[in-house]
Amino acid sequence: MKFTLSWLHDHLETSATLEEICAALNRIGLEVEGVEQRGAAVAPFLTARILSAVQHPNADRLRVCRVDAGPGFNDVQVVCGAPNAREGISVIFAPPGTYIPGLDITIKAGKIRGEASGGMLCSLRELGLGAESDGIAELPEDTFPGQSYADFAGLEDTVIEIAITPNRGDALAVYGIARDLAATGLGKLKPFLADTVDGTFPSPIKWDDTYTEACPWVLGRTIKGVKNGPSPQWLRDRLEAIGLRSISTLVDITNLFTIDLGRPLHVFDAARIKGDTLTVCRGGNETIRALDGKDYIVTSEDCVIADGAGVQSIAGIMGGEATEVTDATTDVFIECALFDPIRIALTGRRLGINSDARYRFERGVDQAMPVMALEAATRLIMELCGGEASEVVSAGARPHWQRKAKLRFKRVASFGGLDVPADECMTILGHLGFETTTRDEHSVTVAVPSWRNDVAQPVVLDPSSDIPADRCMELENAVSRIEPECDLIEEILRIKGLDQVQPVPLPTRSVVPGTALTPGRTRLARARRVMTARGLMETVGFSFIAYDEAHKFGDAPESLRLLNPIAADLDQMRPTPVPNLLAAARRNAVRGWPDLGLCEIGAAFSAEGQTTIAAGLRAGRTSRQPGVTAVPMTFAASKADALDVLTSLGVPSDALTATPDAPCYYHPGRSGVLRQGPKNVLAHFGELHPSILQEAGFDSPVVVFEVFLDRIPEPKRRKKSAPDLSPFQPVRRDFAFLAAHDVPVETILRAARGAERNLITDVSLFDIYAGDKLPEGQKSVGIEVVIQPKEASLTDAQLEALSEKVIAAVAKATGASLRS
């Protein structure tokens, strides 16, 4: 929000300095983002008069001018190339040493084509104040030479820019800012009065029934016989000072009230309206060319203003080109309405339109001001453009915005932390517009002003929630009682000064601090440490990818499409971090680093909700070492990574089973799923599908794994005790089983491990062989069984008996037999 110091003084009677005003704004929450001294850049420029102008003897397009620019420069020769440089006109003169902001140069005295030149005659563009022009700027004939151009043009005014929080729509008006400053005691607020303009004839244009859900109340009136054209200088200066381009008097007046009162208005060319009625209604998939020259399609979700020919304005956001006022306009219709903030925000976001009107309507405007704003705009239009006003026409009904809030004086100290006397609380609230309705010794009830839409708003919980209806009503009533009082306390503290609130430490439950990390956070840290210890470099990727890319790696439901993505190829929430890792690996490969390992712990999204996945990727070949041949990555590496992460998080390896039903983006024969039980899938692992690798530009296998951290059950808490170490030497026995080719190795390992759990501590695979020396359809599986005696060393007979148990258990579970 930008405004000038002189504009603020129109509403605030104060002798405070600029520094005091800025300090007060920061103190009350209207943070100053910038202060611009507009005249500082053009202070060296002077007003001047050309005494004579003759043709340059050595150049056809240059003229040699004698210039009077006041004391010290009352007879200066300047070479100028402007076609309008002529004797007798008043101009802008830049003495030597002046920096020209529009050209980014500093003027020096010298010679041009042999003729001395002691300065420069400038255009407004060269001062950085105007658009491109063919010649130098011409000032009024009665301009006195030697004045500072900044003083002459009124550029000494200071521009202040403040940040506005979303709840303070009332501060999007210079009048609202002045009201807040007056409440701090910085000055006195001047009352804003708008005299009623009596209509002399019925308006030929009327409002039809309005779309009350989006526009509860709309006013308007016709003014005939106006003369539109350039705005007067004071109006142009005021708007241009804050960065608004002057368009015409009628348009500039609406822009003036948008900034001055926070009250957007719109003017239609009455002659270009088809029919005698305007309707505030829903859009109907129509196209409208707006005032910015762009075409927009409005739907039934949008509120529009239409005439007999169709949509003529996107209500509350931007008018249409078809009914735009021009210099030929003689009759206008002024629209002043209240629009629903939510619908304005949704329409503006969907259409991508950012306008001053939208910015104010979506934050809430003064609900009691439409009548006064319409009268003020009517009077200013008639003053600057002439014309005759009709009676006011309306549709809908004046909204019931009145509400009350109660404050207990002691709560300012107990809840707000600052002891403010009751009478001072009343004074502050009164200056902010909160009028007292009832008061006793301990509390006060005030009427909330119409411009404070953020105070004492009723609370309505979502009816689709799981909270019972009676409990919803109880919570709504409780919050509606507490919240208004908190709003009033905030207003008192804000004006009194939040810097006066003494900091108080939070109460401590114990002198010993609690655990900083939750079990879930600890699990993430452990998984990250394990993956990086295995040689994987951690990455951080976006949580969204291209829609087409998401389809390759699972489902891409429409519910997870982004309506406003940061880039066109980042419009879908990712189903897994694997695409991000693959893209990072591709970028490294094309830069000469094909052999690498990457990992990421991040969110993944599906129709069922959000999950956290620890994912890793290995590409290229194994590391080159003396005596070891580098080979392409295999799915076994990704399985080992996944198993290491799971076991580090407390999942027993013997509780896991591997099945070959990995998702579609994995290689169908070189991938798998790790499960704990038949339903709980904890991880995927394996090579990526060849089609995905080919499209990504890889000519060698890339292996990945995904560990679903949210599905890992919390480990049971057990009392810590000393490890049960046996004093006896373990015994290792090797077995080679002849099994069918389709028998999973893990089934053999699990059966052997379960043959005697009290003595067998580990079973591992050391060989798989399938060849012509074995029967067709058979394979040899070699396993090592570790036997750990606990009570005493085992005899040969006991070892033989245990071996027989292992052989029998494997045979029963898989049908395999001991290979002879």
Scanning the structure block, which residue is given the tokens 């059966």? 751
Tell me which DSSP letter residue 664 carries: T
Q: Are 156 and 60 in contact (CB under 8 A)?
A: no
| Distance from C-alpha of 126 to C-alpha of 117, rounded to nearest angstrom | 18
767 annotated to bind ligand: no
490 annotated to bind ligand: yes
| Distance from C-alpha of 532 to C-alpha of 528, rounded to nearest angstrom | 6
Which helix (H) or strand (E) segment is 346 a member of?
A: helix 341-351
Structure tokens at 507: 């109460």
375 annotated to bind ligand: no
Q: Are 622 and 630 in contact (CB under 8 A)?
A: yes
Count of Cβ atoms closer than 10 Å to residue 183 Cβ: 22
Helix 174-183 to helix 18-27 angle (10° resolution) is 90
Task: Locate all alpha helices (DSSP H) within 130-173, ordered by sequence.
Answer: 149-152
Structure tokens at 84: 């309008």
Structure tokens at 248: 């015409």
At 604, the amino acid letter reads A
Structure tokens at 558: 């429409």
Task: Locate all alpha helices (DSSP H) within 497-622, ordered by sequence.
Answer: 519-533, 547-552, 578-589
Which helix (H) or strand (E) segment is 117 a member of?
A: strand 115-117
Structure tokens at 677: 């039980």
Tell which residue, 314, 313, 309, has the closest CA to residue 350. 314
Tell which residue, 268, 279, 275, 266, has the closest CA to residue 215. 279
Geometric angle at alpha carbon 29, from 26 and 34, rounded to 5°:
45
Count of Cβ atoms closer than 10 Å to residue 801 Cβ: 12
| Distance from C-alpha of 573 to C-alpha of 562, rounded to nearest angstrom | 7
Name residues whose C-beta falls within 8 Å of residue 777's C-beta, 6 or more positions apart in sequence: 740, 741
At 742, the amino acid letter reads D
Radius of gyration of the chain (CA): 40
Task: Locate all alpha helices (DSSP H) within 70-185, ordered by sequence.
Answer: 149-152, 174-183
Structure tokens at 798: 């006991």
Q: Identify the bridge partners of residue 751 per DSSP, sorted by sequence position.
A: none
Which helix (H) or strand (E) segment is 672 a member of?
A: strand 666-676
| Distance from C-alpha of 696 to C-alpha of 619, rounded to nearest angstrom | 12
491 annotated to bind ligand: yes
| Distance from C-alpha of 541 to C-alpha of 601, rounded to nearest angstrom | 9
Binding residues: 454, 487, 490-491
* Binding-site residues from annotation for Mg(2+): 454, 487, 490-491
